[in-house]
Structure 1
Amino acid sequence: MSLALTPAIRDLLDSWLTHERAIKGASEATLRAYGADVTGFFAFQAEYLGGAPGPAALRGLGPRELRAWMADQRGRGVGARSLARRLSAVKGFFNWWAERDGFDATAILSLRAPKHQRRLPRPLTEDGARDMIDGVGEQDARDWVAARDIAVITLLYGCGLRISEALGLDARLIPLPEVLRIRGKGGKERELPVLPAARAAVDRYAALCPHDLAPGTPMFRGIRGGALGPRAVAKVMEKTRMQLGLPSSATPHAMRHSFATHLLNAGGDLRAIQELLGHASLSTTQAYTAVDTARLLDIYQSAHPSARKRA
C-alpha cells in the first residue's frame, strides 16, 4: 500500500501519527491500526482516481469519493463496526490536517459512519470470576506459571486493570504497594487501591518465579523469561472457561467488566468506579456495568435525595 502514498502524503501521515503519540498518548498498537486504516483509504483513492493522490487531490475529495470507498469496504465484507473505526481514523487525520493547514474538510468530517449495534460487555458472575481465578492456576504443572496466571487474573478482577496495564507493570513494584498509580489510555493517570489478595498473589508469584525480577524489567514473564504477552493470558483463560463451562465472553477484558459491575452491585458509586476504571466519560462506565433494573432502582431509592425525602 505504500505505493498509494506520495512523499508529501507519507510525511503528513507520519506527522499525524507522531502527533497522536506525543499529544494524545496513543499506544503503538493504536498507531499501527490508524496507519493501516488511513493508508488503506489512500490506496482505494489511488485506484479510484487513477493514481496516487497528492495533497491537492485529497483536499478536494467530496462525498462521491468517500461513499465509493465505503461501498468498496462493505463489498469486501468489512462489517459496520470495522468500517466505523476506519472512517474514524480517516476523519482524525483530515481533522488534524485541516486545522494545521487551514482548509475546509467538511465533506469528510460530516460523513456519517454506518449504524451498528453496540456490543454490551458481558461480565462474569461473582462465582464465575472466583472460579476463573482458581481455574487458571490448574492449567500448568509448573508452580511458578500457575502462580503467575493467578496473579495476573487477580489484578484484572481485583483492580480493574486492562490487560495491557497489568502486563506493563514494572518488577520494581514488587511487593505491590497498597495503592498503584497507573498510566492508562491517553496518558491518563489514576490511583487504584490494591486488595490484600492481589498483593499476596503477586508475592507468591515473585517468590516462585525463576527469572530475575530486577527493577526496570517486566513484572510478568513468559516461560523463557521475556515479557508475558496478552495472547498467553487469553489462551489460559480460554482453556479454563471451556473446562468450567463459562461463555466465550469470559476473556481477560471481561474481568475488568466484572470488577466494575460487582462494585456497583455492592453499592459502589458510579463516579468513583469511573475514576477507578480511568474512563473519561461516565457513559462509558455505564456501558461497562451490567446491573439489572431492580438493582438500579434500589441504588436510586437509597441514594437519591428526593427518594429519601419521600421515605
Structure 2
Amino acid sequence: MNRDQLSNFNPTNLSQSRPSDLNSIFLQPVAPAVKSCARQQVLDRVLDKISKQDLLGKSYVEEYIRHKYRRNCKANTLRQAATSLEQFLSFFATRGNTVLEQLSREDIEAFVEALQDRGLKLTTVNTRLRNVYAFVRYLILEYTGFDWGLMERKVKLKLPDRLPRAIDPQHLAQLLSVIDDRRDRALILLLLRTGMRIGELLNCKLQDIDLNEQKILIYQSDKTSVGRAVYYSDDAQQALLAWLRMRDPLKQQLFYGRGTKSLCYETARSIFQRCLQKADLQYSGYTLHCLRHSFATDLLNAKMPLECLRVLLGHTSLEITRRYARLTDKTREEEYFTAMDRILKGESNENDQCDR
C-alpha cells in the first residue's frame, strides 16, 4: 500500500481491512541502516577520558572497563562504572593514599559520607557504592595485594522501601483526554497498555510489532537483557495505527528522532511533561515510569496472577512484582470496608474472633 492509500485508511474502523492484512499494510520491510556499535563508541570515549586523567590505579580501571565490555555490559553500565570509579579514585587520592593496594573499608565509608554531604540522592550514592564494590571484587579476583576482607563486611545503605506509584485513575482519564497528537498518543498508550520500560519502547522497530496479534517483541530488555513478548489493547492499537498512517514509512524505529536515530529519552520526557501540563497535572509528580506502574496496578486489580504479570513486566524475581500487590490489594480493601460496614451496623458476631 502506498502513502496515498495509507492516508485514506481509517484506523477507527478496523473492519474495512481484515486483521491478517494489517502487517502487510503498515509494516513493510525497511532496509536496515548501517551504524556503528554504540557500545564500542562509549568504550572508546570512556577509555579516552580516563587516559587523560591522573587517576590513582588508572591501569586497573582501564582494564576493568574493558572487562565489563567483554562481558557484554550495556553502554550505560560502562558509563556509570567509569563515572563512579573516577569519583572514588579522585577522592581516594585526597586521603593521602599513594597506591590502590592501601584501600580500606574506612576509605569507602568516607567516600559515601562525602557523596551524602554533596546532597546526592540515596539511590545515586548506592549506585556509586555498588560500582566501587564491583571494582573491588574484580581487583581481588584478578590481582594480588588486595584484601578479601573488604568484601566480608561491606558498607551498606538503608534505602527507603517505596511502593511503586501509579497514576490516579481520574488523573489518567484527564491526561488521555487532552492528547491529540497522534505520535504522542501512541507513545503514551503503548507505555500504559504494554507495561514496557520507556527505553524498550524507544528501541522498538517496526519489525518487532505484530499488528495482527497486537503484540510487540522485546528481544533484549534494557534492564535485564532478557527478551519477552508484550501485548496491547484495542485503544492502543487504534492509536498505533493512527501514528503508522502518518509516520515516515522509511524509518526503522517506531518512534524516531532526526536522521536514523530513535527518539531520545529527554524528548519523550518532554512530550509527557507537556501532556501533563495540558491536563493541568504539571505539579502531580508523575513520570513516564508511572505509566508502567499503572499498567501493573490495573492488571492486578483485574485479578491477573502474579507470575503472569511478572513475565509481562520482565521482572527476574517474583519478589519485585509482589511490591505491586502491596499497593493494589483491592480484595483486602473491599473486605475491610465490608467488615467495617457490618461493625457499624452492629452485625458483627462476638464469637468470631481473631486467633490470639
Equivalent pair of 1:13/1:35 in contact (CA under 8 Å): no
TM-score by length of 1: 0.79
- 2:128 maps to which of 79, 86, 91: 86
Superposed, which structure 2 residues align to 1:100-179 within 5 Å? 100-101=142-143, 104-108=147-151, 110-137=153-180, 146-173=181-208, 176-178=211-213, 179=215
Tell me the alpha carbon deviations over residues 114-146 of structure 1, each in whole angstroms, 9 at most, x when there is no partner: 223233221013343343233232xxxxxxxx1
Equivalent pair of 1:16/1:96 in contact (CA under 8 Å): no
Equivalent pair of 2:301/2:328 in contact (CA under 8 Å): no
Partner of 2:55: 4
Between the aligned partners of 1:160 and 1:230, the Cα distance in structure 2 is 16
**Is 1:283 equivalent to 2:319 in the alignment?**
yes
Tell me the alpha carbon deviations over residues 196-231 of structure 1, each in whole angstroms, 9 at most, x when there is no partner: 33233222111112x3434xx211123777421222
Partner of 2:349: none
**Is 1:64 equivalent to 2:103 in the alignment?**
no
Q: CA deviation at 1:282?
A: 1.6
RMSD across aligned positions (CA): 2.7
Q: CA deviation at 1:297?
A: 6.9
| Change over 3 Å in CA distance of 1:256–1:11 after alignment to 2 | same
SS at match of 1:120: coil
Tell me the alpha carbon deviations over residues 226-279 of structure 1, each in whole angstroms, 9 at most, x when there is no partner: 421222221222122233343533211100000001100111111111110001
Unaligned runs of 5+ in 1: 138-145, 300-311
Equivalent pair of 1:176/1:202 in contact (CA under 8 Å): no
Partner of 2:66: 15
- 2:91 maps to which of 44, 48, 66: 44
SS at match of 1:31: helix
Between the aligned partners of 1:82 and 1:256, the Cα distance in structure 2 is 22
Between the aligned partners of 1:4 and 1:82, the Cα distance in structure 2 is 22
Equivalent pair of 1:136/1:237 in contact (CA under 8 Å): no
TM-score by length of 2: 0.70
Q: Number of aligned pairs? A: 279
SS at match of 1:191: strand
| Change over 3 Å in CA distance of 1:225–1:101 after alignment to 2 | closer
Partner of 1:239: 274
Partner of 1:34: 81
Task: Read off the aligned partner of 1:188 and give its amino acid letter.
Answer: V
Equivalent pair of 2:228/2:314 in contact (CA under 8 Å): yes
SS at match of 2:229: strand
Partner of 1:180: 216
Task: Read off the aligned partner of 1:8 and give its amino acid letter.
Answer: S
Equivalent pair of 1:175/1:203 in contact (CA under 8 Å): no
Partner of 1:219: 254
Partner of 2:308: 272
Between the aligned partners of 2:197 and 2:184, the Cα distance in structure 1 is 15
Aligned structure 1 segments of 4 or more residues deviating by more than 6 angstroms: none
Percent identity over the alignment is: 24
Equivalent pair of 1:62/1:107 in contact (CA under 8 Å): yes
- 1:202 maps to which of 227, 240, 246: 240
Between the aligned partners of 1:263 and 1:254, the Cα distance in structure 2 is 14
Task: Read off the aligned partner of 2:229 and give its amino acid letter.
Answer: E
Q: CA deviation at 1:280?
A: 0.9
**Is 1:261 equivalent to 2:301 in the alignment?**
no
Between the aligned partners of 1:91 and 1:169, the Cα distance in structure 2 is 34
Partner of 1:142: none
Between the aligned partners of 1:63 and 1:174, the Cα distance in structure 2 is 50
Equivalent pair of 1:274/1:282 in contact (CA under 8 Å): yes
SS at match of 2:216: strand
Equivalent pair of 2:65/2:81 in contact (CA under 8 Å): no
Unaligned runs of 5+ in 2: 1-49, 336-356
Task: Read off the aligned partner of 2:69 and give its amino acid letter.
Answer: T
Tell me the alpha carbon deviations over residues 78-129 of structure 1, each in whole angstroms, 9 at most, x when there is no partner: 3433222211111122223333447643314632322232332210133433
Task: Read off the aligned partner of 1:116 and give its amino acid letter.
Answer: L
Between the aligned partners of 1:82 and 1:189, the Cα distance in structure 2 is 27
Between the aligned partners of 1:6 and 1:85, the Cα distance in structure 2 is 21
SS at match of 2:161: coil
